[in-house]
């Protein structure tokens, strides 16, 4: 019998990339442990994930009607030949732009391999979930200071105040939460801004509870106070900023009384928040929420957040918000991925990304502008300019259905499950039913995979070499050897694009193996994948904290080289560079008719410890911990509807209804309900009409993705839309066995 082998590696069950330990006995993964500083809920179940009986192990091809669940096995070669043949025809008939890809948040190598393919193939229609996962704040920060500060953390003993504004790291980012708790122990104050009394709020020195989606008014109230009380950082503003006059002119109108009325936050709290920001270093953590408020409301939120960081002098300040700056892979990002290639293709032709006319901040011109500015400061490009290209998801569904502004005929879904993760699930479903060719690649048969013509089985981090590089927007890169050989016919995501590139004569260099492709990316770092994987730290990149206030030598990565408080790149894209607060797109002020019938404000999201968005509900022990989707309802709201704790409730919007289980609790205010997102039931049939219950409990089935609700970059309004609730006619079925 072989000895137990222990492997130390980087986990990619989620994007946190913790060091974990795997035990392998006789070639079988028997144990996995380690994880985030705090105990991780998922890692122990890596063996079940790896050997799960429902994992996809062979490529399959649809033989019945789309979504019917009738499949036949097919070889990789035959599948790729057929897909490539169709793509060649479409390219001939409708141009390379008629091909699109939808992915999720940061997952495996399929993300960058697809970008590389699309850059050289010549289609801008790449969609990643970054679109709804921080894009709005990244765009504004990048336009203002030439980088994001997503990777920044508070520093114990240095940071005086930590502000969590629409983020709940105990559940969503346990390692960072450890850091925050450590900072608190060293004297830092914690402010939490959240309409829900979240777990983080229970540790806060100050909890601020705005009405959902009104954070822009809160932001302006803070700016007003900072300027009125002379609390902003004069040295920084005078020497490094442009646009302060415009800002202070606007801020004057945002009196505390006005902001209190708009947000429901007492004036004294707004004032206290401003004073805490000024008494730095203050770390304003990245929070997802502001990116989900929808048309206008979100823009004002993310703008004021960036503005506050800037005028309090916390940009690239140690203990404040360090700028991420370029990835060590910056050179490869320019040379190997080929963004320039794509831009020159787009500039030579007439077609821009699908929603460029409607949301010009995501267009070839915008991407070029940002790319040039970022490169001037940092020397190399990197992942960020990509955020200035993604089309709106609805524009993909419309291009499929109405061929406007031009047709999309081939769609790839790799590392994504758009039926569950995007508002407007009905529109998405309609489009997936109509596209000429739909190709999917995943670990499991998800609802989105069930709609495909071909489904390809992906290897996970457990059975492929891994280079963790966060889309090139992080300042570190780590390498880990493949822990186990692949099962069945699973292949890594890179294979799909390499093989299609070969068959379709697509430019760029496409090495035979994933490891060799990593070598190419690492070339300019003077190392190889293997060398890095066997080095002491397995990581290259700058330790944040070793570098700060870099703008003093290189300036900011903006067209003027300054911190642009009224960003010229946003103005050039037709946006008001100093956006006023406006109410959420469905609200008393903007939709007075609607609010009569749908009087409650709906917030959706809520990261849950056991799950990663749509993933891992098929892992028994994780599912047992949280079997059904929940809706947080205040007792008063519940009483009005005769709803008791544990009842099944129907949440209704003009688009229809879904059912969730009521949790009656005072963590939300009366009039606000909080719905878990991402729910399907993988134990139910994947085929139509069931699609694993997505019309039953998927909150995104009843949130609108209409253009009028999308925010300035075409991102979706997940938080702050209107709804009503009532006790459901049928309870959620507890008798359905949950994976015994
Ligand atoms: N209502 C509402 N909707 C939201 C949000 C919200 O707060 N509220 N949040 C939004 C945000 S921020 C995000 S990031 C998204 C999350 O959206 P996603 O990132 O799309 O969701 P996941 O469940 O992480 O992954 C989707 C699929 O990718 C597959 N997958 C994972 N890794 C790989 C891989 O390496 N290769 C392949 N081929 N497949 C893989 C998984 O099995 C899963 O089926 O949801 C967004 N949608
Ligand atoms: N376990 C687990 N961890 C995850 C994920 C996961 O799926 N599972 N997903 C990862 C991903 S991709 C992301 S993007 C992050 C997101 O991580 P977080 O930013 O922590 O996201 P959420 O938990 O969705 O929302 C955070 C808080 O925003 C509050 N909120 C809702 N509406 C508003 C509002 O209008 N204003 C304000 N100020 N707050 C509001 C909610 O009440 C919630 O407590 O988590 C990551 N971590
Ligand atoms: S699942 Fe995520 S948090 Fe848990 S060990 Fe893996 S990377 Fe870390
Ligand atoms: Mo996200």
142 CB less than 6 Å from ligand 3? Answer: no
What is the rounded CA–CA span in Å between residue 467 and residue 479?
Answer: 5
Give 421 Cα–ligand 2 centroid separation in angstroms. 14
Closest ligand 1 atom, residue 449 Cα: 44
In terms of Cα–Cα distance, which of 513, 544, 197, 558 is closest to 376? Answer: 558
SS3 of 154-216: CCCCCCCEEEEECCCHHHHCHHHHHHHHHHHHCCCEEEEECCCCCCHHHHCCEEECCCCCCHH
How much is the pLDDT for 299? 97
What ligand 3 atom has the least distance to the C-alpha of 15?
7
- Spacing, Cα 24 to ligand 4 middle (Å): 32
The answer, yes or no, to whether any atom of ligand 1 lies below 6 A from the CB of 414, is: yes
Q: Is-contact 574 360, C-beta < 8 A?
A: yes
Q: Which ligand is nearest to the CA of 46?
A: 3
Say how far apart CA 603 and CA 90 lie, in whole Å.
Answer: 41
Ligand 1 atom nearest to CA at 615: 23
Closest ligand to Cα 211: 2
* Beta carbon of 483 within 6 Å of any ligand 1 atom: no
Cis peptide before 45 (omega within 30 of 0): no
- Contacts for 614 with CB less than 8 Å, ≥ 6 apart: 417, 420, 421, 446, 678, 680
Index of the ligand 1 atom closest to the CA of residue 719:
8
Question: Quick one: pLDDT band at residue 543, thresholds 50, 70, 90?
Answer: low
Q: For residue 95, how far is its CA from the centre of ligand 2 (angstroms)?
A: 39
- Nearest ligand to the CA of 607 is 2
Do residues 487 and 57 lie in contact, with contact meaning Cβ atoms separated by under 8 Å?
Answer: yes
Does the CB atom of residue 668 touch ligand 3 within 6 A? no
Average pLDDT, the chain: 94
Task: Report whether residue 123 contacts ligand 2, using a CB cutoff of 6 Å.
Answer: no
Q: Cβ(43) to ligand 3 under 6 A?
A: yes
C-alpha to C-alpha distance for 116 and 510, rounded to whole angstroms: 10
* Distance from Cα 573 to the centre of ligand 1, integer Å: 29
pLDDT at 35: 73
Residue-wise pLDDT tens digits, 15-64: 988 999 999 999 999 999 987 665 788 999 999 999 999 999 999 999 99
**CA 16–ligand 3 middle distance (angstroms):** 6
675-719 pLDDT, tens digit each: 999 999 999 999 999 999 999 999 999 999 999 999 999 999 999
Contact between residue 718 and residue 724 where contact means Cβ atoms under 8 Å apart: no
Higher pLDDT, 140 or 151: 140
Task: Report CA(604)–ligand 2 centroid distance (Å).
Answer: 9
| Site to substitute for ligand 2 among 470, 602, 607, most atoms within 8 A of C-beta | 607
Question: Ligand 3 centroid vs 22 CA: distance in angstroms?
Answer: 13
pLDDT range class, residue 247, cuts 50, 70, 90: very high
* CA-wise closest residue to 316 among 511, 450, 440, 149: 149
For ligand 1, what atom is nearest to the CA of residue 130?
A: 14
| Position in ligand 2 atom list of the atom nearest CA 286 | 19
Band (pLDDT 50/70/90 cuts) for residue 740 is: very low
> Quick check: CB of 604 below 6 Å from ligand 1?
yes
Nearest residue (by CA) to ligand 1, atom 11, is 133
Q: Is the pLDDT of residue 736 over 60?
A: no
C-alpha torsion sign, points 266, 267, 270, 276: negative
H or E stretch including 453? none
> What is the Cβ-side half-sphere exposure of residue 79, based on CA atoms within 13 angstroms?
26
CA of 13 to the centre of ligand 1 (A): 12
Query: Is there an atom of ligand 1 within 6 Å of 680 CB?
Result: no
165 contacts: CB under 8 Å, gap ≥ 6:
193, 215, 284, 285, 287, 289, 290, 305
d(CA 82, CA 718): 38
Top mutation candidate among 111, 167, 417, 455 for ligand 1, by most atoms within 8 Å of CB: 417
Nearest residue (CA) to ligand 2, atom 29: 166
Ligand 1 centre to CA of 460 (Å) is 15
Cα–Cα distance between 449 and 430 in angstroms, integer?
Answer: 14
Pinpoint the alpha helices (H) of 599-647.
620-625, 635-640
Tally of CB atoms within 10 A around 2 = 8
pLDDT at position 575: 98
Q: pLDDT tens, 649-684?
A: 999 999 999 999 999 999 999 999 999 999 999 999
Give the residue whose CA is nearest to atom 12 of ligand 1.
133
Q: Report the share of the chain in percent with pLDDT over 90.
A: 84
pLDDT band for 378, please (50, 70, 90 cuts): confident
For the Cβ of 166 lying below 6 angstroms from any atom of ligand 2, the answer is yes
Of the candidates 657, 626, 673, the residue with the CA atom closest to the CA atom of residue 730: 657
| Runs of H (alpha helix) within 28-131 | 46-51, 76-94, 110-121
Tell me the best of 173, 176, 288 to mutate to test the pocket of ligand 2, counting ligand atoms within 8 Å of each CB and taking the most. 288
For residue 333, what is the DSSP state? I
C-beta of 468 in contact with ligand 3 (< 6 A): no
Instruction: Tell me the ligand closest to 104's alpha carbon.
Output: 1
Query: Tell me, what's the pLDDT at 513?
Result: 98
Residues 12, 18: Cα–Cα separation, whole Å? 8
Q: Which of 525, 464, 530, 452 is nearest to 491 (CA)?
A: 464
Q: Tell me the percentage of the chain whose pLDDT exceeds 70.
A: 97
pLDDT band at 215 (very low <50, low <70, confident <90, very high): very high
Q: Which long-range contacts (CB under 8 A, 24 or more apart) does 88-97 make?
A: 88/504, 90/409, 90/410, 90/436, 90/437, 91/504, 94/406, 94/407, 94/409, 95/349, 95/351, 95/406, 96/121, 96/122, 96/123, 96/345, 97/122, 97/123, 97/124, 97/125, 97/349, 97/351, 97/406
Structure tokens at 258: 């006005």
Give residue 643's Cα distance to chain centre: 33
- pLDDT (0 to 100) of residue 350: 76
| Residue 643, pLDDT score | 97
Per-residue model confidence as pLDDT tens digits over 571-630: 999 999 999 999 999 999 999 999 999 999 999 988 999 999 999 999 999 999 899 999
pLDDT attached to residue 634: 98
**pLDDT band for position 371 (cuts 50, 70, 90):** confident
| Strand-pair partners of 673 | 602
Longest alpha-carbon distance in the chain: 76
Q: How far is the CA of 42 from the centre of ligand 3 (A)?
A: 6
Q: Which residue has the higher pLDDT, 21 or 340?
A: 21
Closest atom, ligand 3, to C-alpha of 18: 8
pLDDT at position 546 = 66
At 507, phi and psi to the nearest 5? -65, -175
Judge if the beta carbon of residue 233 lies within 6 A of ligand 2: no
Look-up of token digits 């569950």: 420
What is the C-alpha separation between 659 and 731, in angstroms, rounded?
8
Four-residue CA torsion sign, 461, 466, 470, 476 = positive
What's the pLDDT at 476? 86
Give me the pLDDT at residue 574, please. Answer: 97
- For residue 175, which atom of ligand 3 is closest to its CA? 3
Measured N-to-C along each axis, helices 514-522 and 493-503 cross at an angle, to the nearest 10 degrees, of 90
Beta strands in 582-671 (DSSP E): 600-605, 630-633, 648-653, 656-664
Cβ(480)–Cβ(9) under 8 Å?
yes
Query: Is the CB of 167 inside a 6 Å radius of any atom of ligand 2?
Result: yes
Q: How confident is the model at residue 343 (pLDDT cuts 50, 70, 90)?
A: confident
CA of 544 to the centre of ligand 3 (A): 21
Question: Which residue owns the Cα nearest ligand 2 atom 19?
Answer: 167
Ligand closest to Cα of 602 equals 2
Which amino acid residue places its CA nearest to atom 2 of ligand 3?
14
8, 9, 36, 611: residue to mutate for ligand 3 pocket, most atoms within 8 A of CB: 36
- Which ligand ends up closest to the CA of 460? 1
Can you list the pairs that 267-273 forms with residues at least 24 positions away whose Cβ atoms lie under 8 Å? Answer: 267/221, 269/206, 269/208, 270/218, 270/221, 270/222, 270/225, 271/225, 272/206, 273/163, 273/191, 273/193, 273/206, 273/208, 273/218, 273/222
Lay out the sheet containing 410-414: strands in order across: 71-73, 60-62, 454-457, 437-442, 410-414, 99-102, 126-127
Cα-based angle 480, 483, 487 (whole degrees, multiple of 5): 130
Question: Is 18 close to ligand 3, i.e. is its CB under 6 Å away?
Answer: yes
Confidence of residue 12 (pLDDT cuts 50, 70, 90): very high
Residue 287 CA to residue 275 CA, distance in Å, equals 20
Please name which ligand lies nearest the alpha carbon of 101. 1
pLDDT of 37 reads 61
Atom in ligand 3 nearest the alpha carbon of residue 17 = 7
Residue 452 has pLDDT above 70, yes or no: yes
Answer yes or no: is the C-beta of 14 below 6 A from any ligand 3 atom: yes
pLDDT band at 471 (very low <50, low <70, confident <90, very high): confident
State which ligand 1 atom lies nearest to the alpha carbon of 700: 1
Torsion-angle region of 550 (φ positive above 0: left; ψ -120 to 50: alpha; else: beta)? alpha
Arithmetic mean of pLDDT, 216-223? 98
Is residue 98 pLDDT above 90, yes or no?
yes
Quick one: which ligand is closest to 22's CA?
A: 3
**Closest approach atom of ligand 3 to CA 10:** 7
SS3 273: helix
């Amino acid at each position: 019998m072989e000895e137990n082998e222990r492997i130390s590696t980087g986990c990619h069950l989620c994007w946190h990339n913790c060091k974990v330990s795997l035990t392998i006995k006789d070639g079988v993964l028997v144990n996995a442990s380690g994880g985030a500083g705090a105990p991780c809920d998922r890692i122990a179940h890596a063996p079940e994930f790896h050997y799960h009986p429902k994992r996809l192990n062979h490529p399959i091809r649809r033989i019945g009607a789309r979504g019917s669940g009738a499949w036949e096995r097919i070889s990789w070669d035959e599948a790729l030949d057929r897909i490539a043949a169709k793509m060649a025809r479409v390219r001939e008939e409708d141009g390379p732009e008629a091909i699109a890809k939808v992915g999720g948040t940061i997952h495996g190598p399929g993300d960058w391999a697809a970008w590389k393919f699309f850059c050289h193939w010549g289609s801008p229609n790449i969609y990643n979930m970054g679109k709804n996962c921080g894009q709005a704040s990244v765009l504004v920060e990048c336009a203002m200071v030439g980088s994001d500060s997503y990777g920044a953390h508070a520093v114990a003993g240095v940071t005086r105040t930590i502000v969590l504004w629409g983020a709940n790291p105990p559940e969503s980012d346990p390692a960072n939460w450890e850091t925050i708790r450590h900072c608190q122990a060293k004297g830092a104050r914690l402010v939490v801004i959240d309409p829900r009394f979240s777990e983080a709020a229970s540790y806060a020195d100050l909890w601020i509870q705005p009405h959902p989606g009104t954070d822009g008014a809160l932001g302006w109230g803070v700016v007003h106070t900072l300027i009125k009380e002379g609390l902003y950082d004069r040295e920084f503003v005078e020497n490094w900023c442009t646009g302060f006059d415009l800002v202070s002119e606007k801020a004057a109108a945002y009196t505390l009384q006005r902001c209190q009325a708009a947000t429901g936050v007492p004036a004294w709290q707004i004032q206290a928040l401003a004073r805490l920001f000024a008494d730095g270093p203050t770390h304003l953590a990245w929070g997802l929420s502001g990116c989900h408020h929808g048309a206008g409301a979100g823009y004002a939120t993310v703008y004021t957040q960036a503005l506050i960081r800037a005028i309090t002098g916390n940009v690239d300040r140690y203990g404040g918000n360090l700028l991420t700056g370029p990835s060590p892979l910056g050179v490869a990002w320019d040379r190997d991925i080929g963004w320039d290639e794509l831009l020159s293709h787009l500039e030579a032709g007439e077609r821009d990304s699908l929603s460029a006319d409607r949301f010009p901040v995501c267009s070839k011109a915008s991407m070029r502008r940002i790319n040039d500015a970022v490169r001037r400061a940092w020397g190399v490009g990197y992942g960020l300019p990509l955020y200035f290209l993604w089309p709106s998801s609805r524009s993909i569904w419309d291009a499929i259905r109405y061929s406007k502004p031009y047709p999309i005929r081939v769609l790839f879904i790799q590392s994504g499950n758009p039926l569950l993760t995007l508002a407007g699930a009905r529109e998405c479903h309609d489009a997936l039913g109509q596209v000429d060719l739909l190709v999917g690649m995943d670990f499991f048969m998800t609802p989105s995979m069930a709609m495909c013509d071909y489904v390809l089985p992906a290897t996970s981090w457990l059975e492929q070499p891994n280079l963790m590089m966060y889309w090139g927007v992080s300042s570190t890169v780590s390498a880990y050897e493949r822990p186990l050989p692949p099962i069945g016919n699973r292949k890594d995501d890179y294979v799909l694009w390499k093989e299609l590139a070969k068959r379709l004569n697509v430019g760029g260099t496409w090495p035979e193996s994933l490891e060799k492709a990593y070598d190419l990316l690492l070339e300019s770092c003077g190392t190889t994948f293997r060398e890095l994987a066997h080095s002491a730290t397995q990581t290259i990149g700058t330790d944040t904290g070793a570098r700060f206030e870099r703008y003093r030598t290189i300036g900011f990565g903006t067209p003027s080289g300054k911190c642009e408080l009224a960003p010229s790149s946003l103005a050039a894209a037709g946006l008001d560079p100093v956006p006023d607060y406006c109410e959420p797109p469905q609200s008393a002020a903007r939709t007075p008719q609607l609010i009569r019938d749908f009087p409650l404000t709906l917030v959706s999201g809520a990261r849950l410890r056991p799950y990663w968005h749509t993933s891992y509900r098929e892992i028994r022990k994780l599912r047992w911990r949280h079997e059904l989707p929940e809706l947080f309802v205040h007792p008063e709201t519940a009483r009005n509807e005769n709803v008791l704790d544990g009842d099944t409730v129907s949440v209704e919007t003009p688009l229809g209804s879904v059912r969730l289980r009521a949790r009656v609790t005072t963590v939300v205010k009366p009039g606000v309900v909080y719905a878990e997102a991402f729910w399907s039931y993988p134990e139910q049939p994947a085929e139509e009409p069931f699609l694993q219950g997505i019309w039953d409990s998927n909150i995104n089935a009843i949130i609108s993705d209409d253009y009028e609700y999308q925010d300035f970059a075409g991102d979706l309004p997940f938080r702050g839309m209107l709804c009503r609730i009532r006790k459901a006619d049928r309870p959620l079925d507890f008798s359905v066995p949950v994976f015994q």
